Amino acid sequence: MEKLKKYVSVKDEDHFYHQGAVELLIFNFLLILTILTIWLFKNHRFRFLHETGGAMLYGLLMGLIIQYVTKSPDVESGTVYECEKLKSRPSTLLINITNQVYEYQYKREISHHNVNGHQGNAMLQKMTFDPSIFFNILLPPIIFHAGYSLKKRHFFRNLGSILTYAFLGTAISCIVIGLIMYGFVKAMVHIGQLKQWEFHFTDCLFFGSLMSATDPVTVLAIFHELNVDTDLYTLLFGESVLNDAVAIVLTHSISIYSPKENPNAFDAAAFFQSVGNFLGIFAGSFAMGSSYAVVTALISFMHLTKFTKLCEFPMLETGLFFLLSWSAFLSAEAAGLTGIVAVLFCGVTQAHYTYNNLSPDSKMRTKQLFEFMNFLAENVIFCYMGLALFTFQNHIFNPLFIFGALVAVFVARASNIYPLSFLLNLGRKQKIPRNFQHMMMFSGLRGAIAFALAIRDTDSQPKQMMFTTALLIVFFTVWVFGGGTTPMLTWLQIRVGVDPDEDLKAKAASQSASNLDKNTTKAESAWLFRIWYGFDHKYLKPLLTHTGPPLTSTLPEWCSPVARLLTSPSAYGDQLKDGDTDYIINNDELTENYEPSAHIPVPAQDNTGSIQATGREDIQEGDLGLGGYKLQLQHTACQPQKNLLA
């Protein structure tokens, strides 16, 4: 009998393993369906439902099916048991039930009011995964990929505007949503639609910060497919990438904002502490991310005499690249910083330095690997969002709150885009036209980050209501705005079918011609960028990559022994080697292209011709800031011929 029981238990355990397989299989099935649908849509050039929208829809349907098809709720799981002997909560609990000891693992704290809603469908419960999986496993590849695939030329061209939208815009959005929601909540309490919970102003701000993370992946995919105007694409892409980082740190700072006494009153000390937290966390995460990337660059660059270079083993190289980038995320999280911010800047830095050191094989491997991981993770998240409507047990649907949130989100988006665009246009040469502003307003979709931030904390009733609302706003914006992108583009008469390189060239040419008289003032306003560019070009690039001038020529003479040690032998030989024109441009080209236009004022059209004749890469990282300005860098000692020729 004992024996028999044992076999039953083995079978039971087998069943347990198969359960894990069934849940993964359901996700696989959803993803396969999504891929087949995308294929179908791509064939019919059907752009009203993007893959993420499709994934969400399938997730929703699957949730519905599981909810009504699989077995009825587990009766036991709604009951709360008492254990008088327990005084604190252990991380693992051993319980004796009918003379068998079972091990239970601590999952979370449940508020009393949630206990009743807790008896759920066993299958759905098993499909609910830990929010930490979102943060530690699914989000990092998406964010890293955004940083790694950033087209730096276009990005830096619009850096000023992007930073303004991302930092100032997100802060505005957060505060506007917070204020509107606070008004709404007060009003709802007043008319009796909402009980007097502890729905404080900080909670409203928390909601504001998490709803400020935009995720226009749907819109960007369509932009990419249709080759929409590059400036618009870059503004939107850059804003959404940085804005996620800002929103996450903002949410973090608000959640640790703890006014001493009355949580509704304004506490200056606590507020400044929060601002300090924000800055500290942001800077710390940035430092963490970039230092991991610099370590990767150094390792991949190592050329000790006894050693074969790492790039001769592409598998090891790719592995190290992947692991160090992920470690940037994990270290930041472990240090109490924000991993997403770290991994974003890690991606940007990896693309800037490490990418140049990789073997051609690894360049492609890493690109494809992260592209693939991004694709899968994105679709898993959107499938899961669809499912979450059913898997999450404590939804609180409050139509008024949801309506208020929708209003708040749009008002906030408007008060982010329009005023800031107006201000930016005062300073920009290349104005942001009205139709671009409308398109940016329209592209304020909410997605993975808002969802992930909302699901991270669903303990209290306000937080649950926020989660439900956030989820529905994600559905609404992805389906309605995502689907409406193509008609909107037509309606706003935004150019499509633009070749990014040609576009940039034409714009740069017309700008450099019209800006000739303003060179000095422009250059001065961007002095910080110039200093950085010079430092990067003269010291960091040679130190971390095989490009740029040798350190022996850029460092002062008394440093020459160190410089010789640190300079890559290949740096002497092929300084003009330009392995990746998308990412790096040499200083020489830059000077060559800009010198003539600076000295001889020629009409715009001619100028374009001369630039095209000189070389393809005429816009470069050095062209930072708000418009086109001249970047004149001192030539490095080892290239006297070049100087003479110019």
Distance of alpha carbon 215 from alpha carbon 340, whole angstroms: 14
CA distances from 515 to 325, 422, 509, 604 (A): 41, 21, 10, 11
Where helices occur in 256-359 by DSSP H, the ranges are: 268-301, 314-334, 339-349, 355-357
Q: Which of 526, 499, 543 is nearest to 625 (CA)?
A: 526
Which residue from 71, 195, 266, 307 is in contact with its own copies, where contact means CB under 8 A? 307
Could you tell me which residues come within 8 angstroms of residue 318 by beta carbon, excluding any fewer than 6 positions away?
362, 365, 366, 369
Distance of alpha carbon 634 from alpha carbon 535, whole angstroms: 12
The nearest distance, CB 7 to its own copies, in angstroms, is 5
Could you tell me which residues come within 8 angstroms of residue 265 by beta carbon, excluding any fewer than 6 positions away?
259
The nearest distance, CB 410 to its own copies, in angstroms, is 29
Q: Is the CB of residue 277 less than 8 Å from the CB of residue 338?
A: no
Residue 313 or 476: the one with the smaller Cβ distance to its own copies is 313
Q: Per rule CB under 8 A, is residue 333 in the interface with its own copies?
A: yes
Residue 43 or 72: the one with the smaller Cβ distance to its own copies is 43
The nearest distance, CB 490 to its own copies, in angstroms, is 24
Among positions 122-161, residues that touch its own copies (CB under 8 A) are 122, 125, 131-132, 135-136
Q: Per rule CB under 8 A, is residue 397 in the interface with its own copies?
A: no
Q: Which stretch binds its own copies (CB under 8 A): 173-181, 325-333, 434-442, 535-543?
A: 325-333
Q: Which of 47, 210, 141, 148 is nearest to 381 (CA)?
A: 141
Q: Is the CB of residue 479 less than 8 Å from the CB of residue 415?
A: no
Query: CB count, 10 Å around CB of 511?
Result: 18
Which residue from 1, 4, 191, 645 is in contact with its own copies, where contact means CB under 8 A? 4
Among positions 12-51, residues that touch its own copies (CB under 8 A) are 13-14, 16-18, 20-22, 24-25, 28-29, 31-32, 35-36, 38-39, 42-43
Binding footprint of its own copies, residue count (CB under 8 A):
111
Among positions 262-291, residues that touch its own copies (CB under 8 A) are 263
Q: Which stretch binds its own copies (CB under 8 A): 77-85, 238-246, 350-358, 589-597?
A: 77-85
Which residue from 186, 271, 276, 336 is in contact with its own copies, where contact means CB under 8 A? 336
Residue 232 or 254: the one with the smaller Cβ distance to its own copies is 254
Residue 33 or 584: the one with the smaller Cβ distance to its own copies is 33
Q: Which of 147, 152, 148, 150 is nearest to 620 (CA)?
A: 152
Q: Per rule CB under 8 A, is residue 95 in the interface with its own copies?
A: yes
Q: Which stretch binds its own copies (CB under 8 A): 58-66, 280-288, 372-380, 429-437?
A: 372-380
Q: Which of 361, 356, 376, 353 is nearest to 319 (CA)?
A: 361
The nearest distance, CB 581 to its own copies, in angstroms, is 21
For residues 442 to 481, the per-residue mask of contacts with its own copies, x marking binding by CB under 8 A and - elsewhere, is --------------xx-xx---------------------
Phi-psi label, residue 199: left if phi above 0, alpha if psi -120 to 50, beta otherwise: beta
| 527 CB-side CA count, 13 A | 4
Which residue from 106, 403, 527, 572 is in contact with its own copies, where contact means CB under 8 A? 106
Distance of alpha carbon 461 from alpha carbon 469, whole angstroms: 12
Which residue from 278, 326, 481, 583 is in contact with its own copies, where contact means CB under 8 A? 326
Residue 165 or 321: the one with the smaller Cβ distance to its own copies is 321
Which residue from 46, 65, 258, 605 is in contact with its own copies, where contact means CB under 8 A? 258
CA distances from 615 to 332, 347, 505, 610 (A): 41, 28, 11, 9
Q: Per rule CB under 8 A, is residue 376 in the interface with its own copies?
A: yes
Q: Per rule CB under 8 A, is residue 487 in the interface with its own copies?
A: no
Distance of alpha carbon 353 from alpha carbon 299, whole angstroms: 11
Which residue from 68, 72, 103, 266 is in contact with its own copies, where contact means CB under 8 A? 103
The nearest distance, CB 262 to its own copies, in angstroms, is 10
Among positions 194-253, residues that touch its own copies (CB under 8 A) are 198
Distance of alpha carbon 371 from alpha carbon 297, whole angstroms: 21
Tokens of 404: 């208020």
Which residue from 318, 391, 519, 552 is in contact with its own copies, where contact means CB under 8 A? 318
Q: Per rule CB under 8 A, is residue 327 in the interface with its own copies?
A: yes
The torsion angles phi and psi of 193, rounded to 5 degrees, stand at -80, -15
Q: Which of 446, 440, 449, 445 is nearest to 416 (CA)?
A: 440
Tokens of 499: 């070749």
Q: Is the CB of residue 210 less than 8 Å from the CB of residue 470?
A: yes
Which residue from 72, 196, 305, 308 is in contact with its own copies, where contact means CB under 8 A? 308
The nearest distance, CB 634 to its own copies, in angstroms, is 38
Residue 17 or 558: the one with the smaller Cβ distance to its own copies is 17
Among positions 341-370, residues that touch its own copies (CB under 8 A) are 365, 368-369
Distance of alpha carbon 138 from alpha carbon 500, whole angstroms: 31
Which residue from 152, 163, 167, 371 is in contact with its own copies, where contact means CB under 8 A? 371
Residue 282 or 436: the one with the smaller Cβ distance to its own copies is 282
Q: Per rule CB under 8 A, is residue 89 in the interface with its own copies?
A: yes
Residue 305 or 493: the one with the smaller Cβ distance to its own copies is 305
For 348, the 3-state DSSP assignment is: helix
The nearest distance, CB 587 to its own copies, in angstroms, is 33
Residue pointed to by tokens 């050191």: 357
Residue 95 or 423: the one with the smaller Cβ distance to its own copies is 95
Residue 68 or 307: the one with the smaller Cβ distance to its own copies is 307
Amino acid identity of residue 124, one-letter, is L
Residue 22 or 283: the one with the smaller Cβ distance to its own copies is 22
For 125, the 3-state DSSP assignment is: helix
Where helices occur in 120-229 by DSSP H, the ranges are: 122-127, 131-133, 139-148, 152-157, 159-163, 170-190, 201-210, 217-226
The torsion angles phi and psi of 95, rounded to 5 degrees, stand at -125, 135
Q: Per rule CB under 8 A, is residue 74 in the interface with its own copies?
A: yes
Q: Which stretch binds its own copies (CB under 8 A): 283-291, 311-319, 406-414, 614-622?
A: 311-319
Q: Per rule CB under 8 A, is residue 492 in the interface with its own copies?
A: no
Q: Per rule CB under 8 A, is residue 606 in the interface with its own copies?
A: no
Which residue from 48, 118, 425, 476 is in contact with its own copies, where contact means CB under 8 A? 118
Distance of alpha carbon 119 from alpha carbon 417, whole angstroms: 44
